[in-house]
């Protein structure tokens, strides 16, 4: 059966996973819509913004919550932002699951690279596709024309074991950040 097409990154629900979430400001100078599941990068004056593809050492983590400039959850009653995403040029806050060395995330592949079991322990970058203002889902996925290489942003730890998920386009895998604001460690592909 074909894989379900997911987009956006999420903290993995695996035993022993250590996820730390901190709230950061999103500056109104940000020119990109912000979605839950986006890889977030550091920005001027202590703020964060959606990361460009292969953000490298500027990556802070994964957006897991969004708030208006008063700290009210977006899309909720009383919020100044009525959408389920933070529109570009809108100040607010983002809860970010930090890209610490021991944090594991679930990441979807896009269609630009077809992964196989041989890619476990290989590293790959992310593609920063725009999110959907209709579904309010992040467009960030793993992939890119470079495929698996030795100096990329994420290491693949394995396939997420769930129904309708097998190696191939759009599969979900467990990953760990190799490049982030919290350190950089690039392994050699394979064992």
For the chain, the domains span 21-98, 102-184
Residue (of 174, 35, 139, 154) closest to 95 by Cα position:
35
| Beta strand spans in the chain (E) | 10-11, 21-26, 39-42, 48-50, 59-67, 92-98, 105-108, 123-124, 126-129, 139-142, 154-159, 172-177, 179-180, 183-184
Q: Say what the pLDDT of residue 187 is.
A: 47
**Res 38 pLDDT > 80:** yes
Q: Say what the pLDDT of residue 184 is.
A: 66
142: Cβ contacts below 8 Å, ≥ 6 apart: 107, 108, 109, 110, 113, 115, 124, 125, 126, 127, 154, 156, 173, 175
**Res 191 pLDDT > 60:** no
pTM of the predicted protein model? 0.91
pLDDT, tens digit (0-9, with 9 covering 90-100), for 136-163: 999 999 987 677 776 788 999 999 998 8
**Res 164 pLDDT > 50:** yes
- Of the listed ranges 3-12, 15-24, 75-84, 163-172, the least confidently predicted one is 3-12
């Amino acid at each position: 059966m074909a894989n379900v097409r997911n987009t956006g990154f999420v903290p993995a629900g695996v035993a022993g996973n250590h996820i730390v979430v901190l709230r950061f400001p999103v500056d109104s100078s940000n020119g990109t819509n912000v979605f839950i599941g986006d890889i977030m990068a550091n920005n001027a004056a202590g703020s964060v913004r959606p990361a460009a593809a292969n953000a490298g050492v500027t990556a802070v983590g994964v957006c897991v919550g969004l708030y208006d400039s008063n700290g009210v959850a977006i899309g909720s009653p009383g919020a100044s932002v009525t959408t389920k995403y933070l529109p570009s040029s809108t100040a607010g806050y983002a809860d970010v699951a930090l890209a610490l060395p021991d944090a594991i995330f679930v990441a979807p592949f896009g269609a630009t690279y077809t992964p196989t079991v041989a890619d476990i322990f290989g590293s790959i970058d992310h593609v920063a596709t725009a999110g959907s203002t209709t579904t309010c889902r992040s467009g960030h996925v793993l992939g890119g024309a470079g495929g698996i290489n030795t100096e990329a942003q994420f290491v693949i730890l394995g396939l997420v074991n769930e129904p309708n998920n097998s190696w191939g386009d759009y599969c979900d895998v467990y990953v760990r950040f190799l490049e982030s604001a919290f350190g950089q460690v690039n392994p050699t592909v394979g064992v």
